[in-house]
Structure 1
């Protein structure tokens, strides 16, 4: 009696564990005994019997044969691979071979899923909100310093590679300056990409594809360079020499560009990207668009009388560009050769950002309140709660701007006779034919 009941129960469980769907059978663990007792060959077509214990392992049964198979997905499509004939391969051997094959396939898929450095950078820049200038500098620096790594899977970049590249980038640059800043910035960019990748790339089961950041080796080995903050300004006693060197430039557009930088404190790209639609001659203001500022805040500045005169001269440029300072394509980018001329002529070594620092220093020397200086140079302090309650309009800045301009003109040793007649006649667009002819020749050679 007991044996009969046991047989009924066993038959019941076999029944509920066997499900037929379109010729596919799902069974418990496939063993030789289970297959011999339960599997029947179909009269036509084929039957796939899948093992419940090892996903992807199964038996294909046709009218004339039975074969062990492994099932994998390739590009989203199910593929069946034959492991061997049922009669020639024991179930455990077939199961082990299938497990190894599935493991290799999973590893290959994981490798293919790992993004390249270039792919990580593209995705990183898509989600980050960066100004156009910051974006361009980021891409240019990374491409110049790490471009040969772009097509590598990001996980193939090792600690030894990072250490070696950091040492290599420390070499003296083409501008004869130390490469320490370049090396640090390139590795800082790489560090950001790895930190981003660790949190944004996962496998199907949610585990991270990238689990380590090789850039940490620079901290572990204490090889980050101590570069310090650049604090260079053009000292008062050198401003006259600097001004005379600027006036000696044949390219009047570059001359005007350099003067605008030092008399406004604008960043180089903020000034270079100025369009004529940003200049209001009636209100005597200029506006820096949000997309061209570092903090993506649009702001306006009053123009001193001298600045208005410079802008009126720029308006006479025969190239008729949308930009105040036009370049070969779009706006002016980097007047490197002209800077070298000014540096050699004035014996005053500087970079364009030093002119902004010189402007801020001059404002502080004149006793202009700190909150007005911050407004003039578009500095925002998140920690300063009080600053958020102060609303300053452009006209609040006009007197300080005029004061700073006059301070510089005095230090320049400004002489009206040195200046073009068209620049002196503020409010009138007087055309100097000689100047126009020079500008036309420059435009053609440009």
Structure 2
């Protein structure tokens, strides 16, 4: 806060509740008094020396009067302007807290990147706090964070506000650990909204519509979407598929731990229909990416792809996401009497059956069981897409037509 500092004003300042607070003087720029949780009051001067922010301790109140402190601060400012402060005995420089933007940059480089494969998403979420970037991190208060979250909620993205709070909590805890803060200003702060787990499962008609809508896209989005439906793996894992991860002789896709969300290598047996689709994909020269338009990076633009699918097949009400295809596959497998632990193994979940002691001691890969389940699911997809296919095509005929359309699209691309 900012006030005209007087002796009466300083005497009336209450002890801080939790984190210490600062009151800046309206008369002398940078001059302030800091109040601790035990009521201790200390004069400081915030200024810049040789372009670097510095906080200089002036003295304790009331051992040093307000008039003496203000005079000393003015003397320091004069010495700084004359270039004589570093050789002066006046004042004791104290390292000032970095601004939020600098802390975020350090947090991403030193914490998020080495530990979190989704660090780019964290970095993107933290841009929501741009209005606070220029504030020293120890001057960011709970109400400042609430204001940012309120704006996110007002924009109609309440769950995004929950993610923003989770990100700033992790950042502030890291800042406390690094010594930038004494106490996190967002400790025990409640999420802005209560989230309801998604339950969306695509109907047979929607699966069919999505399948044939994808065919209109052509390579690489045709095969990408269809493998999402068939294999039930995460969008980013399928999009980043490498040829070096595929063993066509064994019919196996091996995802290394570096590409998997839970950090554990994942093995996905490939049903025959998935192998047929993969064999229809052209290869970029000297590129290891299966789904790419440049040869140097995997595909992106999933939001635009989904909007095109919505336009093609009318899947906009009720809303769906690509991630719902995983739930759709898991639900479909359960209906086919696939055991829950096999479904969990296919999804590469560490929760539930594969958590705790079981996750440590049960190292069986269940390759045969997973292949059997994925073949059952692929057969169901073939049945659904043939029985509900446009123009009443039969199963075998429509499958040949589908592969012909895919190959024709590939030839056109080349």
Say whether the fold is shared (TM-score over 0.5). Answer: yes
SS of structure 2 residue aligned to 1:385: helix
Contact 2:254 2:268 (8 Å CA) reproduced = yes
Q: Gaps spanning 5+ residues in structure 1: where?
A: 1-73, 76-92, 173-177, 202-208, 425-430, 441-446
Call closer, same or farther: CA 1:103–1:411 in 2, change over 3 Å: farther
In the TM superposition, 1:303-318 aligns within 5 A as 303-314=270-281, 316-317=282-283
Larger Rg: 1
How far is the alpha carbon of 1:97 from its aligned partner?
A: 6.5
Q: 1:215 aligns with which of 178, 186, 192?
A: 186
CA drift of 1:422 comes to: 9.0
Q: Deviations over 1:39-61 (max 9, x none)?
A: xxxxxxxxxxxxxxxxxxxxxxx
Equivalent positions of 1:253-402 (< 5 A) are: 253-314=220-281, 316-317=282-283, 321-328=287-294, 329-348=296-315, 349-381=319-351, 383-390=355-362, 391-402=364-375
Preserved contact between residue 310 and residue 423 of structure 1 (Cα < 8 Å): yes
Which of 124, 130, 135 is 1:147 aligned to?
Answer: 130
Indicate which of 102, 107, 115 corresponds to 1:119: 102
**Residue 63 of structure 1 aligns with which residue?**
none
Q: How does 1:168-183 map to 2 (within 5 A)?
A: 168-172=151-155, 178-183=156-161
- The answer on whether the counterparts of 2:245 and 2:254 sit within 8 Å (CA) in structure 1 is yes
Matched, 1:109 2:94: yes
Measured on the aligned residues, the alpha-carbon RMSD in Å equals: 3.1
Aligned pair 1:135/2:119, yes or no?
yes
Alpha carbons 1:327, 1:333 under 8 Å: kept: no
Residues 166, 233 of structure 1: CA spacing in aligned structure 2 closer, same or farther, 3 A cutoff? same
Deviation at 1:421, TM superposition (A): 6.3
Which digits, 9 at most, give the CA deviation of each residue in 1:241-290, with x for residues without a partner? 222222232x3310110111111111111011111101111111111121
What are the superposed Cα offsets for residues 181-213 of structure 1, whole Å, 9 maximum, x if unpaired? 111111211111111111221xxxxxxx41233
1:105–1:278: structure 2 CA closer, same or farther, 3 Å change rule?
farther
Q: Sort the Cα spacing of 1:216 and 1:155 in 2 relative to 1 into closer, same or farther, 3 A.
A: same
- Contact 1:116–1:154 (CA under 8 A) maintained in structure 2: yes
Confirm or deny that 1:196 pairs with 2:211: no
Which residue, out of 417, 431, 442, partners 2:397?
Answer: 417
Distance, in Å, in 1 between the alignment partners of 2:238 and 2:289 is 10
Change (3 A) 1:103 1:296: farther
Partner of 2:253, secondary structure, is: strand
SS at structure 2 position matched to 1:252: coil
TM-score by length of 1: 0.64
2:40 maps to what in 1?
none
Q: 1:212-260: per-residue Cα shift (whole Å, max 9, x none)?
A: 33324843xxx621122222221234322222222232x3310110111
TM-superposed deviation, 1:436: 3.8
- For residues 359-413 of structure 1, the C-alpha deviation after alignment (integer angstroms, 9 at most, x for no partner) is 1111222121111111111111374423543313423321111111112222222
Q: Tell me the CA shift for residue 160 of structure 1.
A: 2.5
1:56-71 matches, within 5 Å, as none
C-alpha deviation, 1:326, in angstroms: 0.7
Q: For this pair of structures, how many residues does the alignment match?
A: 319
CA distance in 1, matches of 2:268, 2:90: 64
Kindly tell me: are residues 406 and 104 of structure 1, through their superposed partners in 2, closer, same or farther at Cα, counting changes over 3 Å? farther
Given that residues 252 and 268 in structure 2 are in contact (C-alpha distance below 8 angstroms), is that contact kept between their aligned partners in structure 1? yes
Are the aligned partners of 1:317 and 1:439 in contact in 2 as well (CA < 8 Å)?
no
The whole-number CA distance in structure 2 between the counterparts of 1:380 and 1:301 is 16
Q: Secondary structure at the match of 2:268?
A: strand
Contact 2:342 2:366 (C-alpha < 8 Å) held by counterparts? no
SS in 2 for 1:352: coil
